[in-house]
């Protein structure tokens, strides 16, 4: 399962710290096991249940947001150098963990790919992502990115890395019709 997941989500390799990368991958494996998903399901889950006729999968969205986050980081690091301290590993790990809780918020559905799970009636994915990350000892800086990436984080002071991921996520979300 891990081998297939790495093939589908090569952005894990953008996390350079070995322990952090392995713990982020472990969160994904935990979530797939608990939610009853196989790696090849990830491309058939719509990334949002709030948008009708969506042709963007959960896997597309996670990868696009991780790539956007890395690109934004690299451009800013090149432009500002030492004037703007950013932790690239924390940013990429946060980007890859922020939506992993959707694998608990949703459940497999033969017709639509995914439907709201019972768990999702009580906890939206920013909470379940933090729970999964907490269980695998992810650093607070990474859990923070998951915790505040969506509307739950409005009004809370976001770290620089969380600001980058929040906007990367909303670019992809809103370009495909999402919005609140």
Least separation in angstroms between CB 136 and Fe ion: 18
C-beta of 32 vs 62, nearer to Fe ion? 62
| Widest pairwise Cα distance in the chain | 51
Least separation in angstroms between CB 150 and Fe ion: 5
- List all residues 6 or more positions away from 113 whose beta carbon is below 8 Å from its beta carbon: 41, 44, 45, 46, 57
Stretch that binds Fe ion, among 82-90, 94-102, 135-143, 158-166 (CB under 5 A): 94-102
Least separation in angstroms between CB 85 and Fe ion: 25
Rounded distance between C-alpha atoms, residue 175 and residue 129, angstroms:
24
Is residue 106 within 8 A of residue 120, CB to CB? The reply is yes
14 touches Fe ion by CB under 5 A: no
Least separation in angstroms between CB 132 and Fe ion: 13
Task: Return the residue of 30, 89, 99, 105 that touches Fe ion, per CB under 5 A.
Answer: 99
C-beta of 77 vs 171, nearer to Fe ion? 171
105 touches Fe ion by CB under 5 A: no
Q: Both ends of the chain: CA-CA distance in Å?
A: 35
C-beta of 39 vs 101, nearer to Fe ion? 101
Q: According to CB under 5 A, which residues from 138 to 167 bind Fe ion?
A: 150
Least separation in angstroms between CB 98 and Fe ion: 5
Least separation in angstroms between CB 156 and Fe ion: 15
Is residue 126 within 8 A of residue 146, CB to CB? The reply is yes
Rounded distance between C-alpha atoms, residue 143 and residue 52, angstroms:
30
Give me the residue whose beta carbon is nearest to Fe ion. 99
C-beta of 21 vs 149, nearer to Fe ion? 149
- Taking phi first (over 0 means left), then psi (-120 to 50 degrees means alpha), and beta for anything else, what does residue 155 get? left
- List all residues 6 or more positions away from 17 whose beta carbon is below 8 Å from its beta carbon: 89
Rounded distance between C-alpha atoms, residue 150 and residue 170, angstroms:
8
Residues that bind Fe ion (CB under 5 A): 99, 150
């Amino acid at each position: 399962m891990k081998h297939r997941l790495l093939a589908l989500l090569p952005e894990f390799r953008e996390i350079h710290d070995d322990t952090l990368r392995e713990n982020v991958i472990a969160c994904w494996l935990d979530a797939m096991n608990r939610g009853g998903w196989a790696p090849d399901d990830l491309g058939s889950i719509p990334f949002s249940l709030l948008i009708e006729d969506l042709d963007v999968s959960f896997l597309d969205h996670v990868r696009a947001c991780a790539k956007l986050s890395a690109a934004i980081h690299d451009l800013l690091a090149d432009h500002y150098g030492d004037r703007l301290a950013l932790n690239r590993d924390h940013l990429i790990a946060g980007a890859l963990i922020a939506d992993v809780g959707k694998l608990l918020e949703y459940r497999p559905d033969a017709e639509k790919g995914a439907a709201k799970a019972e768990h999702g009636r009580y906890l939206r994915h920013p909470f379940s992502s933090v729970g999964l990350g907490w269980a695998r000892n992810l650093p607070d800086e990474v859990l923070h990115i998951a915790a505040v990436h969506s509307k739950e984080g409005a009004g809370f002071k976001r770290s620089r890395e969380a600001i980058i991921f929040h906007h990367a996520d909303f670019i992809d979300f809103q370009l495909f019709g999402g919005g609140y």
